[in-house]
Amino acid sequence: MIDLFQESAEAVGTVVKRFVSTADAVSYVKGLAGDASPSASYLPPEIAGAFAGTVFAAPAELADTRLCISFAQAGIARTGSLLLELANPEQRSATALPLIHAVFLRGSSIVSDLYALGEILTRGLTSAKTAYLSITTGPSRTADIERVLTIGVHGPKELHVLVLEGE
């Protein structure tokens, strides 16, 4: 499943890295960030914990950050897609504005195709709360000028997926 996910994701220009240890994944992301402060969208505690000591950009600075770090609830093998739960508008902006988007994904949460995501989507859409569920596949793209595919128009120009395989 992870192999197919990687193949599909790379076919649409996503950078896929596979890690056995969360710490290695975190250090890869820190390398992407360089000296600048990254912004963070939602991160589960164990991943957030691994970033102890990192200073994240404040909401007001989102438009100027280079890298955003986030977490996907699930992946789709057939299309190399990620499901992000982004009901919080600040966490959403964080994934939409920067140039680079790095997403943690648990290998075990990858499903086969769009339909296999139905259950988790239904849960999100039928709960009493409001919801913003975003299926993201590859970097932002356009072919609006002469049908020439160009990467990174309004959203991130780079999408990195950190697949966590050791669980």
Partner 1 sequence: MGKAIINKKINDTFLRRALKNFAAAYPVARAKAFEGIDFEALRGRISDFKQAGLKGLPELVSRFKTQAEQTGAKVYVCSSPEEANRTILEIIRSKGADFLVKSKAMTSEEIELNPYLEKNGIRCLETDLGEWIIQLAGERPSHMVMPAIHKNKEEVAELFSKETGHDCPPDIPFLVRTAREALRGGFLTGQVGLSGANVAMADSGAIGIITNEGNGRLVTTLPDTHIALIGVEKIVPSLKEALDVIEVLPKNATGQKITSYVSFIKGPTGAGRELHIVLLDNGRLKLAADPDFSEALKCVKCGACANVCPIYEIVGGHVFGHIYVGGIGLVLTPFFHGFDKAEEILKLCIGCKKCNEACASKIDIEGLIVDLRDRIRKPMGQKFLFGTMMKNRKLFHAALRTAYLAQKPFQGEGGRIRHLPLILNRETANRSLPPIAEKPFRDLVAERPATSDQRPATREKVLFYTGCLADFVYPEMCRDAKESLEKLGYEVVFPQEQTCCGIPARYSGEMDVARDMARINTDVLLAQEADYVATICPTCTMSLKHDFQKLLEGDDVYREKSLRLAAKVFNYSELAARKIGFGSAQPTARSLSGVEGNVVTYHDACHLKRGCGVYEEPRKVLRELAGVEIAEMTDCDKCCGFGGSYSIKYPEISQEVLKNKMENIKATGVSTVAVDCPGCKLQIEGGLEAAGTGITVEHSATLVARKLRQ
* Residue ranges binding partner 1 (CB under 8 A): 8, 12, 63, 78-79, 81, 87-89, 92-93, 96-97, 114-115, 118, 121-122, 124-126, 129-148, 150, 152-156
- For residue 143, what are the contacts with CB-CB under 8 A and spacing of at least 6? 149, 150
- For residue 82, what are the contacts with CB-CB under 8 A and spacing of at least 6? 72, 74, 75, 76, 103, 105, 135, 136, 137, 161
What is the smallest separation between the CB atom of 105 and partner 1, expressed in angstroms?
Answer: 16
Which of 22, 41 has the CB closer to partner 1? 41
In angstroms, rounded to a whole number, what is the distance separating the alpha carbons of residues 73 and 107?
A: 11
Which of 30, 78 has the CB closer to partner 1? 78
Which of 31, 147 has the CB closer to partner 1? 147
